[in-house]
């Protein structure tokens, strides 16, 4: 059963404290945020300032500004009594034992019986934190270790006190999973818990081995990134991101609590070069630079420079050329055995890290999956260390055998868990369920959160698609719900998966009640396959582009008016055509971290599959409802403007600027998510929730009624043109931006119409088609498409 947390408090309003408060607020939980009283100024200044900071920046802590209203600022002198109203109190004060225990004593005096108290500590052991505290406090205490930034990092490591009730602990974990959306990994009371224990070792090995081997920063980052399924920043880019000056601080904290014979003690060494960088202010992105820095030349252009690890001098970044990068396509074993410096570096760093991780079983965890999950969610590794060992299998030889032999060749022992598993897989599938190797030689189940669902779960159970083609396949989710999965690269739309959409009515007739459209990927869809359009442009096959536009319009209109409900299971990016699919669905079940938008203007076109039409109709309908509410003396929606032009101006703004919603709640404001749509906090639960929503909608389902709108025509176009002219004259729009915007204005204002004429959806779709085709014929648009294909970046022309 999920625990109910009606009110929470966070003590400490630094980056982590205020970030955790934002996570709670994003989940709809009122939060009290307390900090010390400043020597000067308002008594709540620290907490108030922290809330403001969480609203700002490119990746704010609040998923929507409205959630900031759920956080009440206060201080640790005037507001302690308010802790008595809280069900959960999170301590995020200085990493000093005496400071934390002083705060605990104050909490204990005012908290209500049974309230949970937790610490976000990353360095202090739990048994030390609660030493000397009353039994009542110990019974309610745990460590809840969030990762930075708390909104975006999935991992939550939890360590309950020895006397914490296990049923209650399970209920809290369920709450953290379902309500906060975290990937909860129970950990033991050991230094660094799981992710940091291994991650800090890995990063230290990455620096130490780079200095020893003499590999360049660029080469090291090229190897220690995508080829191994590691963060694209690479090793040194990651140091710059988190702050180079944190390295000695983290190492010091680890050294204070690690076992005497721990391998980290013999590995850690802070090079003189790094000491000098820190002293000179080269601490990474937050300082003057780090291993990388940006230098502005006299003409204003910025150049990325990279430090030489031997001399400490900076030079322009060079693209690494290593044969081992190609060899890595053959898997970890091929990379580790490659003789060039890239292969040597990969082997030196990763074989030591994998050895360290394996040697910590069962000290830090009794099961290998918990370790893998922690590294995946806490350090963004695509594969955890034990999954990586399995991936080292090559030529019919198991990964455990290959890695164990490599360790022995290096003069290293083989840790117990790998010695027992040698010659076997660490992960396997038995009776349709994933299994993991456990100490003792048995296989045990890989835990799957109750109520979660991924398509991978179906595939592991041996399910076969109901129907498939080269770019899509349909699955049976059970209970009469089918799921359309895009299988094209980046889930882009092409003639094949559009064809599958058109076939859905026949598939549903064969025994389904509704359809969910979703994927296990990080992103829902990156829109249309622009490579298809570029090929057609290069061969002057304008008919092919016209046909694909009409095919997409027909497919999506078919979904909208199908005799069954369609629910989009949304997570991550849904751009261009991906967003147009959302707009034609009955509802969207969205992960809170969803980012949809009609971004076609970036490549010089407008939405052509009904995106303009749907966003326009939604805003007009909302404006009509708002006006009706005013006429009836009711309070209108404050986010909806009345009248034809305000209703048109918002779609025009969103589409012409290629605006992308920064979260699911923001997408709701943009009307990409409609009133039937819902938000899920945990990524693993989106598909299951989408299925449930489809089942709800399937009861007595009737497709929406077709409707018409009245658009202003020439007068509306003139008004939008004035706005475009202003942006152009102020330098905020390029010449081709102006061309695209005016084509968009022609569609949204109805072309050659006026307010006396009722326009159908098809008439607006025809305008979309015609304006799209005019734009794709322009050289400027073709240049933008080509530039995007070659660089993945928009061209400003």
The reported pTM is 0.94
pLDDT digits (tens, 9 = 90+) for 712-732: 999 999 999 999 998 888 888
pLDDT digits (tens, 9 = 90+) for 392-436: 999 999 999 999 999 999 999 999 999 999 999 999 999 889 999
Structure tokens at 725: 């002219």
Does 738 have pLDDT greater than 70? yes
Structure tokens at 556: 């999506």
Contact 50, 14 (CB under 8 A): yes
Structure tokens at 36: 């010390």
Do the strands 302-307 and 314-316 form a parallel or antiparallel pair, or are they unpaired? antiparallel
Residue 371's nearest CA partner among 239, 196, 235 is 196
Distances (CA, A) of 466 to 450, 473, 513, 603: 26, 7, 15, 36
pLDDT confidence of residue 1: 67
- The H or E element containing residue 785 is helix 779-791
pLDDT confidence of residue 508: 96
pLDDT confidence of residue 8: 98
pLDDT confidence of residue 613: 97
Contact 350, 328 (CB under 8 A): no
Between 136-150, 634-648, 663-677, 708-722, the lowest mean confidence (pLDDT) is in: 634-648
Quickly state the pLDDT bin for 603 (edges 50, 70, 90).
Answer: very high
pLDDT digits (tens, 9 = 90+) for 357-382: 999 999 999 999 999 999 999 999 99
pLDDT confidence of residue 171: 96
Beta-bridge partner residues of 485: 473
Mean of pLDDT values over 221-239 = 95
Radius of gyration of the chain (CA): 28
pLDDT confidence of residue 728: 87
Beta-bridge partner residues of 566: 515
pLDDT confidence of residue 321: 93
Residue 267's nearest CA partner among 337, 348, 371, 346 is 348
Please state, for a pLDDT cut of 90, what percent of the chain lies above it: 88
- The H or E element containing residue 481 is strand 481-486
Structure tokens at 430: 């038995």
pLDDT digits (tens, 9 = 90+) for 255-269: 999 999 999 999 998
Quickly state the pLDDT bin for 636 (edges 50, 70, 90).
Answer: low
Longest dimension (CA), the chain: 86
pLDDT confidence of residue 626: 77
Contact 92, 17 (CB under 8 A): yes
Please state, for a pLDDT cut of 70, what percent of the chain lies above it: 98
Q: What is the 3-state secondary structure (H, E, C) of 412-453?
A: CCCCHHHHHHCCCCCEEEECCEEEEECCCCCEEECCCCCCCC
Do the strands 427-430 and 433-437 form a parallel or antiparallel pair, or are they unpaired? antiparallel
pLDDT digits (tens, 9 = 90+) for 193-223: 999 999 999 999 999 999 999 999 999 999 9
- The SS3 call for residue 72 is strand
pLDDT confidence of residue 29: 98
Identify the DSSP state of 758. P
Quickly state the pLDDT bin for 345 (edges 50, 70, 90).
Answer: very high
User: Who contacts 543 (Cβ-Cβ below 8 Å, separation ≥6)?
Assistant: none
Structure tokens at 214: 């003499």
Does 283 have pLDDT greater than 70? yes
Quickly state the pLDDT bin for 640 (edges 50, 70, 90).
Answer: low
Alpha carbons 776 and 607: distance in angstroms, whole number: 12
pLDDT confidence of residue 411: 95
Mean of pLDDT values over 552-562 = 97
The residue among 580 and 450 whose pLDDT is bigger is 580
pLDDT confidence of residue 239: 95
Quickly state the pLDDT bin for 635 (edges 50, 70, 90).
Answer: low
Could you please report the per-residue DSSP string of 256-298? HHS-TT-HHHHH----HHHHHHHHTT--BTTTTBSSEEEEE-T
Quickly state the pLDDT bin for 247 (edges 50, 70, 90).
Answer: confident
Mean of pLDDT values over 503-520 = 96
What is the residue-averaged pLDDT of the chain?
94
Mean of pLDDT values over 541-545 = 94
The alpha carbon dihedral of 376, 380, 386, 389 has a sign of: positive
Between 6-10, 201-205, 516-520, 636-640, the lowest mean confidence (pLDDT) is in: 636-640
Alpha carbons 426 and 401: distance in angstroms, whole number: 11
Q: How many C-beta neighbours within 10 Å does residue 132 have?
A: 11
Q: How many C-beta neighbours within 10 Å does residue 575 have?
A: 25
Contact 74, 33 (CB under 8 A): yes
Alpha carbons 648 and 617: distance in angstroms, whole number: 9
């Amino acid at each position: 059963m999920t625990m109910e947390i009606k009110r929470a408090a966070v003590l400490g309003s630094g980056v982590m404290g205020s970030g955790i408060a934002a996570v709670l607020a994003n989940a709809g939980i009122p939060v009290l945020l307390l900090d010390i009283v400043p020597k000067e100024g308002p008594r709540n200044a620290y907490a108030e300032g922290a809330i403001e900071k969480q609203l700002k920046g490119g990746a704010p802590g609040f998923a929507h500004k409205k959630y900031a209203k759920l956080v009440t600022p206060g201080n640790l002198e005037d507001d302690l009594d308010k802790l008595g109203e809280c069900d959960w109190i999170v301590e995020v004060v200085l990493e000093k034992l005496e400071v934390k225990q002083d705060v605990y004593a104050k909490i204990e005096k005012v908290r209500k019986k049974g309230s949970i108290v937790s610490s976000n500590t990353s360095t202090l052991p739990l048994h030390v934190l609660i030493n000397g505290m009353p039994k009542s406090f110990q019974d309610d205490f745990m460590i809840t270790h969030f990762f930075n930034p708390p909104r975006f990092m999935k991992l939550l490591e939890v360590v309950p006190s020895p006397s914490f009730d296990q049923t209650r602990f399970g209920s809290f974990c369920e709450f953290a999973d379902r309500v906060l959306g975290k990937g909860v990994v129970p950990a033991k009371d050991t230094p660094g818990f799981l992710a940091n224990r291994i991650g800090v070792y890995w990063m230290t090995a990455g620096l130490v081995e780079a200095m020893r081997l003499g590999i360049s920063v660029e080469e090291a980052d090229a190897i220690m990134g995508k080829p191994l399924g590691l963060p694209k920043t690479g090793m040194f880019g990651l140091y710059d991101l988190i702050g180079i000056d944190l390295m000695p601080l983290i190492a010091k904290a680890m050294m204070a609590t690690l076992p005497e014979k721990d391998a980290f003690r013999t590995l850690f060494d802070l090079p003189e070069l790094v000491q000098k960088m820190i002293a000179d202010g080269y601490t990474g992105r937050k300082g003057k630079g780090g291993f990388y820095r940006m230098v502005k030349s006299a003409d204003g252009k910025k150049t990325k420079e990279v430090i030489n690890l031997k001399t400490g001098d900076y030079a322009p970044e060079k693209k690494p050329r290593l044969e081992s990068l190609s060899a890595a396509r053959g898997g970890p074993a091929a990379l580790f055995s490659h003789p060039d410096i890239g292969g040597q570096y990969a082997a030196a760093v990763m074989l030591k890290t994998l050895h360290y991780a394996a040697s910590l079983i069962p000290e830090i965890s009794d099961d290998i999956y918990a370790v893998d999950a922690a590294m995946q969610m806490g350090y963004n590794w695509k594969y955890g260390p034990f999954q990586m060992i399995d991936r080292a299998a090559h030529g019919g030889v198991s990964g455990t055998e290959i890695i164990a032999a490599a360790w022995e060749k290096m003069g290293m022992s083989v840790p117990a868990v790998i010695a027992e598993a040698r010659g076997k897989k660490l992960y396997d599938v038995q009776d349709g369920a994933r299994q993991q190797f456990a100490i003792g030689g048995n296989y045990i189940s890989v835990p799957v959160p109750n109520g979660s669902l991924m398509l991978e779960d179906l595939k592991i159970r041996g399910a076969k698609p109901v129907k498939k083609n080269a770019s899509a396949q349909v699955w049976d989710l059970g209970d009469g719900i089918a799921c359309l999965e895009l299988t094209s690269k980046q889930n882009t739309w092409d003639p094949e998966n559009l064809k599958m959409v058109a076939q859905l009515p026949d598939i549903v007739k064969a025994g389904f009640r509704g359809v969910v459209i979703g994927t296990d990927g990080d992103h829902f869809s990156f829109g249309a396959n622009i490579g298809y359009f570029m090929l057609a442009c290069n061969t002057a096959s304008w008919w092919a582009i016209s046909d694909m536009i009409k095919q997409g319009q027909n497919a999506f209109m078919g979904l909208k008016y199908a005799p069954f409900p369609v629910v989009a299971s949304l997570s991550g990016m849904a751009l261009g055509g991906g967003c147009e699919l959302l707009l034609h669905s009955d509802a969207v079940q969205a992960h809170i971290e969803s980012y949809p938008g009609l971004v076609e203007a970036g490549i010089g076109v407008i939405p052509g599959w009904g995106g303009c039409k749907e966003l326009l109709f939604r805003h007009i309908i909302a404006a009509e409802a708002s006006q009706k509410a005013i006429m009836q003396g009711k309070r209108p929606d404050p986010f909806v403007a009345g009248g034809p032009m305000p209703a048109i101006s918002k779609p025009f703004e969103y589409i012409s600027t290629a605006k992308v919603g920064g979260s699911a709640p923001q997408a709701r404001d943009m009307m990409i998510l409609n009133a039937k749509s819902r938000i899920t906090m945990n990524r693993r639960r989106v598909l299951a929730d989408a299925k449930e929503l489809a089942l709800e909608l399937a009861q007595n389902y009737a497709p929406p009624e077709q409707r018409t709108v009245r658009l202003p025509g020439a007068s509306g176009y003139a008004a939008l043109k004035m706005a475009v002219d202003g942006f152009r004259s102020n330098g905020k729009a390029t010449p081709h931006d102006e061309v695209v915007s005016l084509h968009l204005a022609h569609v949204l204002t109805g072309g050659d119409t006026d307010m006396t004429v009722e326009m159908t959806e098809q008439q607006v779709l025809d305008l979309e088609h015609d304006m799209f085709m005019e734009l794709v014929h322009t050289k400027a648009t073709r240049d933008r498409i080509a530039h995007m294909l070659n660089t993945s970046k928009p061209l400003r022309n």
